[in-house]
Amino acid sequence: MPNTEDDKLLLFLGSGFSAEFGLPTTQQLRDRLLETPGNDPEVQRREQFISKTIGEFWQEVFGWNHGCPTPSLEDHFTQIDLAANSGHHLGPHYGPRKLRAVRRMTIHRVLKLLDVRPAPSPLIDRFFRQLTERVGLTIVTTNWDIITERSLEQHHHPFNYGPDAFDSRGSAIPKQGIPILKLHGSGNWGYCDCCRNLITFALDMGKAAVHLHLFLEPDDFRLFDGGSQVADDLGDLHLRQCLACGGRWGSRVATFSYRKDLSIPVFQTIWDLARLGLQQASRWLFVGYSMPHADIEIRHLLKSAQLARMTPNNVSIEVVLKNDSAAADRYKRFFGLPDGSIFQDTLGNWIEERLSDYCR
């Protein structure tokens, strides 16, 4: 494969890629959602209250009890969003304010579970080292974690997030290096609801949205019995002033919901850049992305970008999964892929067996 300006690669990453570093998959997040992370007594009190709040929500809405299968994250967020966004109750005890509080607490919990030190992976290091030697690499990911950024930083490759971004001091961040287009947002992003600027935090802060409590509101805890003490502990630490406009910044992510909110300008810019990258790339490499039916917007993004090409079938599509026959079937039905385009034996084995030829 010649390394020319016309030979562009679109690398599309899902949660299965991050699992190679020891991070939980989407299914594991669902099963572990009521875990209580953290050791500090104040953190434990807060996280236990969040677990209790989510569990009580499941009991009333989904008839869940301890020891029973937990609701899917898609059902959890979709039921909240359909009711809260239209101003309706979900049952007699969950009005829009409570539903939005449960939503924010759940996002915080997911990010908390993702906030782990990644396990070293020499194979992934080799993967990025060889891919970044190519010209025209674009990375698109659905993950909230910052594994990709850490991997590029380790190899001294600059990267950017697509739209204009600012640091926490309000200074513009130079746009250079490999685009990392995070379709669902990121755990190290802030967002100003006034001037609509994207604020990005240094990677050494990890999941800044967790550490700065960007998804936790003291008033949310006061909506539930026994939450006042937790609210007082939280105080105003989560409040941050936007130095560009004087407003307040928080954070935004797109959840696992079937009704994702992608209407904010930052997301629109990212999705437009992803569509352009898909249209221009000669190869699409999917790693650890199962293309679930819940991702209706992404499925449309992929299909519309494919059909917008002068020759829609002139893009090489390869998929790397881990023993996921259901996902393989979705790819075959959606793109008409042959069996040889789908590798089911983990990313590590794909790197060992195919990477060198793929980058030749």
**How many Å apart are CA 334 and CA 312, to the nearest integer?**
13
- Chain segment 219-247, per-residue pLDDT in tens: 999 999 999 989 988 876 656 788 888 88
Between CA 119 and CA 203 the distance in angstroms is 16
Q: Where are the beta strands (DSSP E) in the chain?
A: 9-13, 137-141, 159-160, 165-166, 178-182, 189-192, 198-200, 249-250, 283-287, 316-320, 342-343
Mean pLDDT of 297-311: 95
**Percentage of residues in the chain having pLDDT higher than 70:** 96
Residue identified by tokens 């490499």 is: 285
Above 50 in pLDDT, residue 3? no
CB atoms within 10 A of CB 246: 10
Here the tokens at position 263 are: 């209407």
Answer for the pair 302, 333: CB distance below 8 angstroms, yes or no: no
Task: Give the Cα separation of 318 and 124 in Å (integer).
Answer: 17
Helix (H, G, I), strand (E, B) or coil at 283: strand
DSSP state of 248: B
* pLDDT at site 59: 97
Predicted structure pTM score: 0.92
What confidence tens digit (pLDDT) does each residue in 149-195 have? 988 988 888 999 999 999 888 889 999 999 999 999 999 999 998 99
Burial group, residue 155, by CB count within 10 angstroms (0-12, 13-18, 19+): exposed
Helices (H), 65-200: 73-84, 96-114, 122-131, 147-154
The model's pLDDT over 151-164, given as tens digits with 9 standing for 90+, comes to 898 888 899 999 99
Q: CB pairs under 8 A, 24+ apart, for 289-293?
A: 289/12, 289/13, 289/14, 289/15, 289/16, 289/17, 289/142, 290/14, 290/16, 290/321, 290/324, 290/326, 290/327, 290/330, 291/327, 291/330, 291/331, 291/334, 292/74, 292/330, 293/330
Q: Which of 21, 7, 4, 2 shows the shortest CA–CA distance to 284?
A: 7
Strand, helix or coil for residue 349? helix
pLDDT tens digits, 49-95: 999 999 999 999 999 999 999 999 999 999 999 999 999 999 999 99
> How does pLDDT run across 313-338, given as a tens digit for each residue?
889 999 999 999 999 999 999 999 99
Residue 263 CA to residue 260 CA, distance in Å, equals 9
Which one-letter amino acid corresponds to residue 166?
Answer: F
Structure-token pair, residue 20: 């190679």
- Taking only the tens place, the pLDDT of each residue in 13-38 is 999 999 988 899 888 999 999 998 77
Tell me the pLDDT band of 135, cut-offs 50, 70 and 90.
Answer: low
234-243 contacts, C-beta under 8 A, 24 or more apart: 234/46, 237/212, 237/213, 238/212, 238/213, 238/214, 240/168, 240/190, 240/212, 240/214, 242/170, 242/192, 242/194, 242/195, 242/197, 242/199, 243/168, 243/169, 243/170
The SS3 of residue 147 is helix
Q: What is the pLDDT of residues 91-127, one digit of tens each?
A: 999 999 999 999 999 999 999 999 888 888 888 989 9
- What is the rounded average pLDDT of the residues 286-309? 95
Contacts of 333 (CB under 8 A, 6+ apart): none
Q: Calculate the alpha carbon distances from 137 to 3, 206, 274 in Å.
A: 11, 24, 12
Q: What is the mean pLDDT of the chain?
A: 91
Cβ neighbours of residue 329 closer than 8 Å, sequence gap 6 or more: none
